[in-house]
Structure 1
Amino acid sequence: MFVDRRPGRLLSLVGLLLAGALVLAGCSGSGGDQPGSGSTAPSGTPGAFPATVTHKFGSTTVPAAPQRVVSLGYTDQDAILALGVVPVAVREFTGNKPSATWDWAQDELQGQQPQVLPVGEVGTEAIAALRPDLIVGISAGLTQEQYDTYSKIAPTIAQPAGFVDYGTPWQDATRLTGQALGKPAEAEQLIRDLEAKFAQVKAANPGLQGKSVAGVRPSTADNASFFVWGSQDLRARFFQALGMTIPQEFDHLAGSNFYATISTEEISKLDPVDSIVLITASDAETQAFQNLPGYSGLTPVQQGHAFTPTPEQSAAMSFSSVLSLPALLDTLPADMNAKLA
């Protein structure tokens, strides 16, 4: 089952995602056999450190190759793992997978078992106990106060400026992570390779070009509304990279958020789109959405242009990481193209 478990201000939006020059207070420690006791550190090229990373709250300097990396963001572990580093701790996001890591990234764990941090508030004591020398919180939706607090423990990387919280594109997340780990060249190579795959898949699925898409799911707040994602959402970015479009009305309704809330009485707002993608937490949720009054009469539904990704596809879209996206590109676009072409 694909269940999004982000807390606080985002937990109230749980279905939307379906579907801290810093003073070092932390210190490096020797590894061990217990989960979360050690990590595979980056090899860092000569001259890569000290590394300075610019983000939403200014800049962070990482003085030396980090040995104990905490993946505080909900999906940050993927870019860290892709660059050959195993975090000492990973934040739970969705799916209750071993080490909070989905199948597409399991091999990169190198047999290690990072400690799993809770979805809820992660206290400074818990982070300090891990003795990190780097905290990566790109997808943590950090506030200035949280960033300042975590930064007293270890150099902390926050989300870049210019994007809504939880809306950092995978390219930027990978690039910032590579800079922090002293592996900027490796990060750029990962970005080039995946962008090339996107271009290949886009060219192979011309039926998607210019087609509008609505990514939706039931509201987690009540039974009288549903969520639709705006163009700053990671899932929306996935479709846009394939040549699809997000209706401007949804962006207008979303405002400064990555999603919009629409009354079920206004489900007809989905009628003009070329395709609908249901990203839900369970089969029951999918069925409930399909049973909404007016859903079966929507033009894209009657045309067979309503899609329900598998749980792994839904998770891969919600992670939208350098590790999760390749497998997704091999499956979902072709399925959609076959019907939309």
Structure 2
Amino acid sequence: MFERRRVRGLLLPALVATVSLALAACGGAPADTGPEPGASPGFPVSVEHALGTTEIPAPPERVVSLGYTDQDAILALGVVPVAIREFTGGQPSATWPWAADLLQGQQPAVLDGEFGLEAVAALEPDLIVAVSAGLTAEQYESYSRIAPVVTQPVGDQPFQSRWQDTTRLIGQALGRGAQADGLVADLEARFTAVAAEYPQLAGKRAAVAALSSVGAGQFFVWTSQDNRGRFLTSLGLTVPATFDELAGESFYADLSAERLGLLDEADVLVWLQIPGTENATLEAQPGYPALRVGQEGRVVNASTEQAVALSFSSVLSLPALLDTVPAELAARVGG
């Protein structure tokens, strides 16, 4: 994910200032009272996730999208959140063009900057989707006093969930699991078809990199276990093991200017520009003239929208990338 302030490679505005006494009055999560007369089919549902099991008693009608990119899956499933977390780019309703039509003319509130629990409580949500929010256990407990909360899938570290798992988990929480399964199956089939269309990509080494927004002379390279890297591997490409090794348990590796030459381990490089970062083109970097990948024309310079779509890596943003990026990759690897 992009970062506007460095916390493990992402901008993570403070999620919680303090838990006020007023919030305690919001009450706990709904008790498990079993199906009531007239209950909606499929509800209540129990959703198991990384920080617990959440009971959702009825179809949610006021959904807060607290994760940085969760709104895409929510919208794809036909639900318009009452509020959406700003991630990057300052788009209307914090929603990028590939998802804007699914707002159905509504204008959700935008949670931006440093907001507290009170701001979320004031929205009166009946579900808080925090799959890509990176909540701590304490933050999860605090938000759960407001409404049922779902976080990333069981076993996943924050910000490392596959788009397939995110879509399915949110579908389960919304009572639209079958619809989510269909969306996943359709997009996976699309990836398979595009990979077959560009067989020259198979086995080639590729990486996604960017200038860090935390200071000049620092760079990010995302791993094979990040959705940016998974986009490449889904097309038959491989991410050099060096970057996974450098990243350790993180989803990206930090490179200093002195190590920029490691980018030459890739046969083709996708270069992203993080919105708001100055002099962020690869060509503007002091080490660029020595890079073979640049000298040989093997760099795909992503547009701002492509860069953000790749960072979202959602069921809505990925189809637009498949329309353009694979052809650009194929043109640069040759063969």
* TM-score under structure 1 length normalisation: 0.86
1:74 corresponds to which residue? 68
The number of residue pairs the alignment matches comes to 311
Give runs of aligned pairs for residues 289-304 of structure 1, distance below 5 A. Answer: 289-304=282-297
Question: Is 2:310 aligned against 1:317?
Answer: yes
Q: How far is 1:234 from its partner?
A: 1.6
Aligned to 1:108: 102
Q: 2:249 aligns with which of 250, 256, 259?
A: 256
Contact 2:213–2:274 (8 Å) recurs in 1: no
Map of 2:28 onto structure 1: 23
- The 1:241–1:205 alpha-carbon spacing in structure 2 relative to 1, beyond 3 Å, is same
Whole-angstrom CA distance in 2 between matches of 1:84 and 1:237 = 26
The reply to whether residue 265 of structure 1 matches residue 258 of structure 2 is yes
Deviates more, 1:80-89 or 1:224-233: 224-233
User: Alignment partner of 1:199: what SS?
Assistant: helix
Give the aligned residue type for 1:206. Answer: P
Q: Report if the CA contact (8 A) 1:90-1:114 is conserved.
A: yes
Distance 2:86 2:5 in 1: 11
| Superimposed CA distance per residue, residues 297-326 of structure 1 (whole angstroms, 9 cap, x where no aligned partner) | 322222211110111111110111011111
Offset, 1:14: 4.5
Matches within 5 A, 1:105-144: 105-118=99-112, 120-144=113-137
2:81 maps to which residue? 87
Q: In structure 2, the residue corresponding to 1:250 is in which secondary structure?
A: helix
Is the aligned partner of 1:9 residue 2:7?
yes
Equivalent position of 2:59 in the other structure: 65
User: Could you tell which deviates more after superposition, 51-60 or 125-134?
Assistant: 51-60
Residue 7 of structure 2: SS of its match in structure 1?
A: helix
Compared CA separation, residues 7 and 49, structure 1 to 2 (3 A): farther
**AA aligned opposite 1:9:** V
- How much has 1:95 moved relative to structure 2? 1.2
Cα distance between partner residues in 2 of 1:339 and 1:245 = 15
Which of 196, 212, 217 is the aligned partner of 1:203?
196
Task: Tell me whether 1:160 sits opposite 2:145 in the alignment.
Answer: no
Query: How far apart are 1:338 and its partner, in Å?
Result: 1.9
Query: Is 153-162 or 295-304 further displaced after alignment?
Result: 295-304
1:209-260: CA deviations, max 9, x gaps?
A: 1111121111222223211111122211111111111111111111111111
Match of 2:226 in 1: 233
User: Counterparts of 2:269 and 2:191 in 1: how far apart (Å)?
Assistant: 21
**Superposition RMSD on alpha carbons, in Å?**
2.1
Residue 54 in 1 paired to residue 48 in 2? yes
Q: What's the secondary structure of 1:286's corresponding residue?
A: coil
Aligned mates of 2:145, 2:298 — CA distance in 1: 51
Counterpart among 322, 336, 341 of residue 329 in structure 2: 336
**1:133 Cα deviation from its structure 2 partner:** 0.4
The one-letter code sitting in structure 2 at the alignment partner of 1:23 is: G
Q: Deviations over 1:4-40 (max 9, x none)?
A: 4655725x6459xxxxxx9337xxxxxxxxxxxxxxx
Is 1:142–1:159's contact at 8 Å kept on the other side of the alignment?
no
1:109 is aligned with what amino acid?
Answer: L
Tell me how far apart the structure 1 counterparts of residues 108 and 278 of structure 2 sit (CA, whole Å). 32
Give the counterpart of 1:306 among 299, 305, 322.
299
**Letter paired with 1:51:** V
Change (3 A) 1:151 1:57: same
Task: Note if 1:145 corresponds to 2:138.
Answer: yes
Q: Aligned equivalents of 1:333 and 1:24: distance in 2?
A: 45
Name the CA distance, whole Å, in 2 between partners of 1:131 and 1:110: 21
Structure 2, unpaired ranges of 5+: 13-26, 31-38
Deviations 1:87-129 (A, max 9, x none): 00000011111100011111100000000001x3431111110
Q: CA deviation at 1:281?
A: 2.6
- Residue 272 (structure 1) shift: 2.1
Amino acid at match of 2:200: G
Instruction: Mark the CA change 1:7 to 1:225 in structure 2 (over 3 Å): closer, same or farther.
Output: closer
- Where does structure 1 differ by over 6 angstroms across 4 or more consecutive aligned residues? none
2:172 is aligned, of 162, 173, 179, to 179
Q: Is the 8 A contact 2:40 2:58 kept in 1?
A: no
CA distance in 2, matches of 1:312, 1:203: 25
- For residues 333 and 116 of structure 1, what CA distance do their matches in structure 2 show? 33
CA drift of 1:46 comes to 5.4
Q: What whole-Å deviation, never above 9, does each CA across 1:132-184 have from its counterpart, x for those lacking one?
A: 00000001011111111101110000011333311211101100010000000
Contact 1:71 1:77 (8 Å CA) reproduced: yes
Q: Which has the higher contact order (CA 8 A, sep 6+)?
A: 1
